[in-house]
A = this chain, B = another copy of it.
């Protein structure tokens, strides 16, 4: 139990005030970033770039101030005295971690890296459509070199990529992720093979004409029903859907729609609503502080995947949702039985593009990227060998080969707009953790699946709010997973879920 008998020293108030300023500056950056992706006029980009650079620089300068360090130092005895469970101790602990992190990277290196990634992004935007890997290769080489240099500012135990993984997943290192992924891959590849040996379900019902305004209406109805609170958020269109939070009372989601494919908009909304409900569920006391957001990339992804896949692609969900979807789109769906629809949205098929991959093959896309990142960083693979390695691994894992680099190793923006290392593993950690959380939630509240068939999601959301969301960034990944599931991160619930679901669908 928190020990409340210690009076907070005056340094705590000053620390809170300083951190609140940094937080508000970052929130302002997030508003400008949201606007950039949704409503920015065609020619507004240059000024917006300057404004974002200034906000980020002022926030960095205020956060890395020596005074913040001496306040943290002065508060150490207080944090020890109240004990690690006390909210003040959590704030001091995480602030110390973040401050140390921010201080280690020299400002001029950071500026040079930002400039380089901006150049890289521009080059990629031209080179990818032209399928010109040779043009981007020297830039990617420099990115790898700078990523290595960046990692070098941090202590790491074993692998050069440890700090990059830790930055995205506090407390996790390369060894943790490798262990998880190697177990997962050995069991996933045979399952994918077995499923793809079966006849493919017919999914043509999803590519009929679906008017966008009706899709929009339906997706907002679903998001509302799941529990995303539109009085504390909103949905807008964006070319690449994302979620952003300016406070737990202003968490915004975005989506994209295609009139010719029902999947894009519907599942993007459920995915982003999952991220959104996480941020909306942070404990009010943490709002406006360093602790007031999700705990890691992977844990965030667990929430989007849980609602998109475990709920949104389940038979239970569509028991409730399908009659409503048919009522919204009678011309398109009245002749399509629920089973056909359910099989269509769960069709498994080896494919080239990560973001279009099905639930089963998706992780194979992630795991190869993670392995390539490590190999590039530790020098066991050269950038020029990436295209060939990509093709070989695709054949090995998925039985197909990309016809070109634009649909191969150049498809994702990540390595061309940020560091190489730590960018991808969160997606699969999210899938794994989603199943573990869901299994635990149903164990605690066995009525959840039945409620889902009636379109009632409050019990599940309430459990997630209480067990996970409320924690914010108070703890590292290990601790957060432990507190919410009562166990360490494990692939068993995920494998059980996949076998159960795809076993039933594909008889494998």
User: Which A residues are closer than 8 A to B by beta carbons?
Assistant: 20-21, 24-25, 27-29, 31-32, 35, 39-44, 46-48, 50-51, 53-55, 57-58, 62, 230-234, 236, 246-247, 249-250, 252, 287-288
Contact = CB atoms under 8 A, between A and B. Distances in A.
A230 B43 CA distance: 9
Given A44-B250, A233-B41, A28 B27 contact: no
Contacts of A27: 47, 51
A62 B25 CA distance: 14
A35 B44 contact: no
A57 B17 CA distance: 12
Nearest to A246: B47
A42 to B, nearest CB: 4
User: Chain A interface mostly helix, strand, loop or mixed?
Assistant: helix
A41 B236 CA distance: 12
Given A28-B28, A42-B231, A44-B246, 16 more contacts: A20-B50, A24-B51, A24-B53, A25-B54, A25-B58, A27-B51, A28-B51, A28-B54, A28-B55, A41-B231, A41-B252, A42-B232, A43-B232, A43-B250, A44-B250, A50-B288
A236 B35 CA distance: 13
Given A31-B32, A35-B35, A54-B20, A47 B231 contact: no
Nearest to A59: B58
A246 B249 CA distance: 25
A42 B251 CA distance: 12
B231 A24 contact: no
Contacts of A51: 24, 27-28, 31, 246
Contacts of A230: 41
B249 A44 contact: yes
Instruction: Quickly give the copy total for this chain.
Output: 2
Contacts of A24: 50-51, 53-55
A57 B58 CA distance: 13
A140 to B, nearest CB: 31
A215 to B, nearest CB: 19
A229 to B, nearest CB: 8
Given A54-B25, A58-B21, A58-B58, A47 B234 contact: no
A287 B47 contact: yes
Contact of A25 (B35, B47, B55, B250): B55
A41 B232 contact: yes
A234 B41 contact: yes
A27 B246 CA distance: 18
A247 B44 contact: yes
Contacts of A35: 31, 35
Contact of A43 (B42, B44, B57, B231): B231
Nearest to A40: B250
